Chain A
Amino acid sequence: MKILVAIKRVVDPGVRVRPLIDGSGMDIASAKMSINPFCEIAVEEAVRLKEQGVATEVVVVSIGSPVVQEQLRSALALGADRAVHINTDSTLEPLALAKLLKQVVLQEQPQLVLLGKQSIDGDHNQTGQMLAGLCGYPQGTFASRIDCKKDEIWVTRELDGGLQTLALKLPAVITADLRLNQPRHPTMPNIIKARQKPLVVIPLEDLGVNVQPRLQTLAVAGPKLRQQGVKVTDVVDLVDKLRQEAKVL
């Protein structure tokens, strides 16, 4: 089974980001960048499936300017076999990303497409579902467990009110939730080996997809700040304040 994993380069989750003063976007020019944590879990799952002998090849793909090759190399260091970089300087919406990924799916013909459930920058939580819809594939979103059966794949999904297990026909799209696995740390030899693994660059224009944005961002602003509160001296003081002052008890 061939697996395609789509990954995104995002601001590292440990970095605190703020909107730009002019409201045109976020101040991320000098921020440390990483693979989106959910995408990293997706890569790890694909590599594990290969180690278990279920998958034969793991291909990673990312869309963006040449800097995304850094994250593609990280994914190769985790154990992916080769990488595809769709080169564009534009910031794209999930619909456009899904259309581009569909073209890669058509070229690569994977049996399974793995993605993170959401990226921690845009927080859209859309691309996997849209890709599945565009390809006409079944979708297993927010996956916390994957079991490969004979000609289907069973996915356990994290729902608001519990867990749901679905059986999907292949090819399928699965998006990773936090509990799917704990990604490994790449070893130094694997980081060095990753530099030699194949990475092809496809100019966005070659894919013949209209990526015109559908939405216009008018402004980006910080959230309402919470007023700094007070420290209470003890539990008696706390209960008293909650009763008398806040009136929530």
Chain B
Amino acid sequence: MSLMNSTALVVIEQDASGFSPINLKVMGAVACLREFTVLEVDLLVVGKDCAAVAEAAAQIPGIRQVLIADGDDGEHQLPETLAPWLAGLARDYSYLVSGATTFGKNLLPRVAALMDVQPITDVVAIESSNVFKRPIYAGSALASVMTDQPVNLLSIRASAFTAVEPGNFAAPITAIAPPKAQQLSRFVSQQQVSMERPELTAARVVVSGGRGMQSSENFQLLYQLADKLGAAVGASRAAVDAGFVANDMQVGQTGKVVAPELYIAVGLSGAIQHVAGMRESKIVVAINKDPDAPIFQVADYGLVADLFTAVPELIELL
């Protein structure tokens, strides 16, 4: 397989700003795949009024072309609309790749089922053209899985790969027929979170709070700290369950997976489900008044202290 030329189709993700930075990480994974196979890469932009996204995608180095499927019916990118159409497109490729985001997780398995393919989700390492590593049991282990399916569907855990740099490139942009509307599902509304701070999965520094924060109001303390550091703010499941913050801030097995340069865990015990979402961070700081909290086992720097005195002091010193 590795000696043959292969082709990959990468589904470009869009966010409120257009071209999502996640795509650059996904392309980092594609670059890793290239170490094992000669790969022609097409990027797919589907949606309504998505020409600007296609232009941004065309600046990614080393791609053959950007396919753009622009039309009213592709708006909101519902999987019921996209999957049958994408299953048809993907048959001509060796790989169909997306990010392991809520967008990719929602879409890719549906496409795979229609193609009778077992997808490999949450890829964190590429070991050859057909062997991929993925975490299981909340990251307590990594499984190396081999596939010899003719088409492979991969979703990429962005935090595990280095982003490629878009540059002064302009790959050809080819228009293709967009998907057709369906009657199964209909978009009603979307509530976008405000983007005052960097996105969790893309931030250089992440400040996270746990149950020890005690209330929603006390999270203000973490926002102040985050603003000093240009950081994103995350939370443990316990803090989300307690209603302190919204679920989209959850870091962990079932929330977001982050790997920032600096991760500051505040009042957070460090349950295995939480550690699963941050263990690849470069430097971990833990502030907790319980010296036996498991978070100290994964922290490079541990401070046993009451967060309500330590955090204001830290804000002061930065």
Contact = CB atoms under 8 A, between A and B. Distances in A.
A138 B261 contact: no
B317 A178 contact: no
Nearest to A144: B247
Interface in A227-249: 227-232, 234-236, 238-239, 241-242, 246, 248-249
B170 interface: no
Interface residues of B, number: 89
B317 A236 contact: yes
B188 A167 contact: yes
A140 B113 CA distance: 16
B101, B110, B303 — most chain A CB neighbours (10 Å):
B110
Contacts of B110: 129-130, 132-133, 139
A215 B147 contact: yes
A38 B237 CA distance: 14
A238 B314 contact: yes
B37 interface: no
A95 interface: yes
Interface residues of A, number: 83
B80 interface: yes
Nearest to B262: A248
Contact of B141 (A95, A120, A220, A235): A220
B70 interface: no
A196 to B, nearest CB: 34
A118 B100 CA distance: 13
A53 interface: no
B184 interface: yes
B143 interface: yes
A89 interface: no
Given A158-B247, A160-B102, A179-B247, A129 B146 contact: no
Interface in B249-286: 253-254, 256, 261-262, 272-273, 279, 282-285
Contacts, number: 253
A137 B106 CA distance: 14
B122 A123 contact: yes
B235 interface: no
B114 A164 contact: no
Contact of A160 (B101, B122, B136, B147): B101
A234 B297 CA distance: 18
Contacts of B80: 138-139
27 contacts: A19-B141, A26-B136, A117-B254, A127-B109, A131-B113, A132-B110, A141-B102, A141-B105, A159-B103, A161-B248, A162-B192, A167-B187, A169-B183, A177-B247, A178-B237, A216-B146, A217-B144, A218-B145, A220-B141, A221-B144, A226-B300, A229-B299, A231-B303, A235-B317, A238-B314, A242-B285, A248-B261
Interface of A: 11, 13, 16-19, 26, 38, 93-95, 98, 117-118, 120-127, 129-134, 136-142, 144, 152, 154, 157-169, 172, 177-179, 213-223, 226-232, 234-236, 238-239, 241-242, 246, 248-249
